[in-house]
Amino acid sequence: MTQASGLHLVALKCRKCGSLLDADPKDVVYYCSNCGTAYELINEKDELVALEIDFALPKKALDAEVVYNPFWVFNTNIKINERDAGGTLGSVVDFIKGKITGGPRPIEKFYIPAFETPMENIKKLGLEFTRSQPEFDTLKKDKLKGCIYSSRDAEKIADFIFLSMEAEKPDMLKGISYDLGLSSPKVVGIPFYRDGTGFIDGIFGIKI
């Protein structure tokens, strides 16, 4: 049945423990800090779907208040079907050999910032985290709010990050056909510290 108001009400209670879920109006991920369960609000269905969540332990802990900002993390299996570039065949051969990334490590995961911040920060953080494939220890429970991008939004941002990486390669990219093969979306809270007027992340020390 269609509601005339277009408004939908979702009971913001943790399905596991019954605690009220604390979230901001734009949030699409709700985290229960009582029992550590996370949910994504699937808007088409007005449904809370349980979600895997971790919190990264900082590598560069600072003596400042820590805030966990949400990133979507996907497993990826990148397939380049066609890449039209002004360079030589050499670049194509590199791709076939699996040197898809141009980074220090093959890309196994995409890291997509999902909190409210200018697009230039999303690009900067998404590129650096995805290129560097960070390793960190994790906590199972902390606090998290402010995830404003859904997993579907994050898939689109992953395309943007991937195309940015491809465009930065030294050959002249003209066209590309690819499939990122994204799977197993989860949320990871990445620690950030207040730093003057901005924030600095606790894994790479990137300022935003």
Residues of this chain that interact with Zn ion (CB under 5 A) are 14, 16-17, 19, 32, 34-35, 37
Q: What's the closest the beta carbon of residue 19 comes to Zn ion, in angstroms?
A: 5
* Beta carbons of 151 and 52 less than 8 angstroms apart: no
Dump the DSSP string for 39-98: EEEETTTTEEEEE-EEEEPPSS--SS-EEEEEEEEEE---EEEEEEESS-HHHHHHHHTT
* Beta carbons of 190 and 56 less than 8 angstroms apart: yes
Q: What's the closest the beta carbon of residue 17 comes to Zn ion, in angstroms?
A: 3
Strand runs (DSSP E) across 114-182, as ranges?
138-139, 173-179
Q: What's the closest the beta carbon of residue 188 comes to Zn ion, in angstroms?
A: 19
Smaller CB separation from Zn ion, 19 or 121: 19
- Structure-block tokens of residue 49: 């779907």
Smaller CB separation from Zn ion, 21 or 157: 21
Cα separation of 112 and 126, whole Å?
Answer: 5
Smaller CB separation from Zn ion, 14 or 208: 14
Q: What's the closest the beta carbon of residue 149 comes to Zn ion, in angstroms?
A: 23
* Beta carbons of 53 and 42 less than 8 angstroms apart: no
Smaller CB separation from Zn ion, 33 or 132: 33
